[in-house]
Structure 1
Amino acid sequence: MYSWMWSKLPGQWPVKLIITLIIAVAVFFLLMEVVFPWVSSMMPYNEVAV
């Protein structure tokens, strides 16, 4: 899968590396800002009764 993605990116390897890093950072922030808070609100540990 990664070799397929690497071959589809434009440019030489330094440009591909920069594009890959930008994509990885974008996915990281998408997960941290959207996906994880949504999943966290659905987890049962938010309803603790002691």
Structure 2
Amino acid sequence: MYAWIWNRLPGNALVRAFLSLVLFVAVVAVLFKWIFPWAEPLLPFGDVTVDNGGTSSVQPVAPGATPSAGASAKSSAKPSTAPSLNGAALPTYVPLVPTGVAA
């Protein structure tokens, strides 16, 4: 397919390389401008099946609202600086090669 496109582009190799770069940028621009936004609602990116065992220690609070009276004192404390994803702690780094072993 690429050879077919290359053979149909006019000019010498330098002109063909420039035109193929322009063609590539145009295709990427069309994909990001119209194709991907159209296809995004059709894809199941929001269908999450992992739910942390059905329990969560984080209770969502609406913006501008105060935590309910049943909330623990920890919720009013300074937020943790540890990285998290929706309140669940992210996994820590585990090296593939054990420490002290030469690769």
> Counterparts in 2 of 1:17-36, with a 5 A limit?
17-36=17-36
User: What is the alpha-carbon root mean square deviation over aligned residues?
Assistant: 1.6
1:1-50 map, 5 Å: 1-46=1-46
- Aligned pair count reads 48
Q: Deviations over 1:5-44 (max 9, x none)?
A: 1111100000000000000000001000100011102223
1:11 and 1:42, CA in 2 relative to 1: closer, same or farther beyond 3 A? same
**Paired residue secondary structure (1:44):** coil
Name which structure has the greater RCO, CA cutoff 8 Å, separation 6+. 1
Where structure 1 has 5 or more consecutive residues not aligned to the other structure, the ranges are: none
> Which range moved further: 37-46 or 11-20?
37-46
Stretches of structure 2 that go unaligned for 5 or more consecutive residues are 49-103
When the two structures are superposed, what TM-score results if normalisation uses the length of structure 2? 0.42
Q: Which of 1 and 2 has greater Rg?
A: 2
Give, as a single letter, the amino acid of the residue that structure 1 aligns with 2:33.
Answer: E
